[in-house]
Chains A and B, each alone.
Chain A
Amino acid sequence: MSVSLQSEAIDVAAEYDQLVGDRPGAAVATFTGYVRDHSDAHTVSELELEHYPEMARKVLENLGQSAAERFGLSSWRIVHRFGRMAVSETIVWVGAVADHRGEAISACELMMDALKTDAPFWKREQGPGGEQWVASRDSDTERRARWQSGEAQ
């Protein structure tokens, strides 16, 4: 039931163990996001994530709590990195524990979809043409909207 904002790489195995603890529940779902080696039209060699620390923590805590209420989670965790990271390093990790797989999987999907558009992080990619800020995607906004319209449940 917590959030971590950190510059160091995410220890996925340790996060999983902490999420599950000594009361594993019946269904555990997790999602791990890694730095891609390419963007739409070019290769990416490094990524930098700027964030707004106080707001990011509040947004992610509210998001975890609302996912917990919506899906009846017995445990959840959101870990998001900031600073510089190389290709194939972890950026984000979310985990949810519920009574059934549907709730656990949906909670992870909601947390990721909402985090993309609501949490104050900004990606800056380094590639062959220099550095550039990553533009927001309409597809992310559309995925986020599904949870508000009731299309996704």
Chain B
Amino acid sequence: MSGGVKITIKLFAALREALGESEFELDFEVVTTDAVPIDVASVKAALSQRGADWSEALNQPNLVHALNHKVVFIDALVSEGDELAFFPPMTGG
């Protein structure tokens, strides 16, 4: 694949607070040389390289990932323009 895959990352609740970021663009080309396809696990692995706090926060056992507003498994494929959110279990209602 030529060019980078640009996606929007969103973080919520305790995760947002722990990492001090709520939303940013991630250009996958600059953070990995892995062959396509890119899945949620590879985005998580790339973000975990940002430091111990990122690695710890993104590898907590109950972490939820939502791709384009839908909860997905870790092997869901990520494409250009997608929005990928990470957050703790939901506690509304």
Interface residues of A (CB under 8 A from B): 33, 49-52, 54-56, 58-59, 80, 91-92, 112, 115-124, 133-136, 140
Contacts and interface: CB of A to CB of B under 8 A. Distances in A.
B93 interface: yes
A153 to B, nearest CB: 21
B62 interface: yes
B10 interface: yes
A133 B69 contact: no
Contacts of B14: 122, 133
A22 to B, nearest CB: 30
Contacts, number: 74
Interface in B40-93: 62, 66, 69-71, 85, 87-93
Contacts of A59: 69
B12 interface: yes
B62 A136 contact: yes
A124 B91 CA distance: 9
A115 B88 contact: no
A140 to B, nearest CB: 8
B87 A122 contact: yes
Pick the most buried of A52, A54, A124, A135: most chain B CB atoms within 10 A of its CB. A52
